[in-house]
Structure 1
Amino acid sequence: MKQKSYILLIIIIAQFACTSPWFAGNSIIDELTLKYNFEQEIIGYVISSVQFGFISGTLLFALFMVADRFSPSKVFMVCAILAAFCNLFLVTEYLSKWSLLLARFGTGFFLAGIYPVGMKIAADYYEKGLGKALGFLVGALVLGTAFPFLIKGTSWGHSPNTVIFTTSSLTIIGGILLFLLVPNGPYRKKSILLKLNAGPQLFRTKDFKKAAFGYFGHMWELYAFWAFTPFAIKSYNVLSGNNFSVSLWTGIIITLGSISCGIGGLLSQYLGSKKVAFFALTISGLCCLLSPLAFLFSSPLFLVIWCLWGMAVTMDSPQFSKLVASSISSELKGTGLTLVNSIGFAISIVSIQLLSFLSGIIDPKYIFLVLSLGPIFGLWHLNGNKSD
């Protein structure tokens, strides 16, 4: 038990450190846009480039069963180092629009060897209590996602170079730390044969399909909410005459989601992963539907609603991953988790680009309504999932 606690702590630290480049580009996009005279539309493209890179990486990782055929810790470390170098490219003096998008694509591609592989490593150590373990692990990912905004929201982090150097350094350290201190788990079953059709065959399993579809609904909402929370705060500042720090409050809202992941993991020990996921997805869906009203409320109430939404929108993520992992055999857990992540992030690109398009043609307070389609779809499938 001591070894498991120690191992989980290392995985959590490494997951936090190595996912910090995810939104590093978005946290400094205003400075990059001003410095290089980029068009305003670049904001949506920057985050979508990371997502598209992640999709490409996870598809290849799933197709060649990388996390199941090779040591997950080695895969994690190599991808962490490569993601850090792609992230560092943002501080070069001669950055074009296409080199920026390519660098973000590369960062996303190698994050495919970090996020789902980290969950695979946790699954190799936890046969029981996986929902709690993944709750803390995804919470670390959420905190890593918020970290660039938190840096940017301080006087110390006003320089884009500080954000990039800090997140890249953390990523390298986290990858090496996990490789040195986390050996292959006791429940790991190595896949010796390459089965190119393993991923598609998983969708023939009823429990896997329903858990995956619930996750897809969640992903329609999650990254679009994160990506456009700065836009929401800017819009509220204009409407209300306030001057909230966009970076700081975006960081706080996303960070609260890391706390809710841990809370959800603990609750799953008593209520089960399905009930926790259903509750969280219901709350976030209601926030989507009520979002236009939030812009009409007082400043404290607007922030409370957005913080509550930030907690609900992430709480279900680790529990969906637990439901997916529990529905497949040990030798295909890495492939299954990676495949579901890949499809989920492909869906997130569509919702991000849709909000980017709508933000230019309709009143800002109405664009978040379209995110409710995800929770509705996810709840419909999750309600039919009889396993936990």
Structure 2
Amino acid sequence: MINESVLLESRTLRTSVLERTEVLDKVKALSLLPDGLHVTTAMVAAYFEVGIKTLESVVIDHRDEFRVNGYQVLTGPELTSFKEVSGLNTRAAAIALWSRRAVLNAGMLLRDSKVARQVRTYLLDAETEVRTRPVDNSVHRASWAELDERIDTRITDVLGKTVVPMLNVLIETAGEQRRELISLREDVQEIQLKLVEHDLQLSRLQRGQDVRALTGVIGTIDAMTWKEFELHVAELLRRDGCTDVEVYGGHGGDRGVDITARTADGRTVAVQCKNFAPFRHVLSGEMQKFLGSSKVLHRADVALYVATCAFTRESLAIAAQGGVTAVHRGLLEAWSAGVRLQVLR
């Protein structure tokens, strides 16, 4: 349901979640400089398991954004003063320092880093959980999923804050066993990532159960997978009298639409389904693509773009000009609750 690519595209969204630096430690231990506040470019590259040049390229492309979030390059007297205060031992004439916010910022921009993808997924899942979790003041016993999540988090914490740092020290002082220790460290870090993936799966499962039980129609829709959402929309079409309803399910044979059908009076229908996160917007380019698929390729009489979020002003203008019905979050909720779409009558 959550599309992590939004973080790569939207600086506004990245800014809105930059306070959640704790997700860095949930995914992997982040080593800090002696001052306890900063890390170097090499340390950030090691955390995300990318090359330093890759990281520097991202900084160049988004330099102003990183500066706002605590990235700075020290030279001259500033560098000398920092080395005295922090105890950092380096002969470099300049050094780039990263705050935890800047490191999280990098995690939202590094497209191909496995660790960065874990950070983005964890970050967006945490945001969704906050929005959908109902207020519950009662005392209740922990479920098995909650217990497993605590165990996973505890093990990940121990591995990241104790085992990996200990291995780092041993590697620095090791002789013949250095290669074996490095291999062991890689295995431990792989276990960390597996535990994070398990934790994410449990969180989604638990949140889906909570939403279905304790919230209304739109909450239930938010908890659906993309496949469940397409089937839900297909059932709404059948409820409103459509026939020959076919769900393509992302198999590639749909030529740019997710569902086709025929209205009760014989008109052809083409539907695009997007169960985006609520804070996402359907962009103009996405609407243009569907307009071409529905009207040109399918020659549909009725084109529906059904989304669990809002549409940008530009995408709505394109929809109106091209004859596409934009079913936004509010209209989707009403449709799901029993209101029939006007265009299907």
- Do they fold alike, i.e. is TM over 0.5? no
**Structure with greater helix percent:** 1
Structure with the bigger RCO (C-alpha within 8 Å, sep 6+) is 1
> Who wins on radius of gyration, i.e. which is larger?
2
Instruction: Please identify which structure carries the higher strand content.
Output: 2
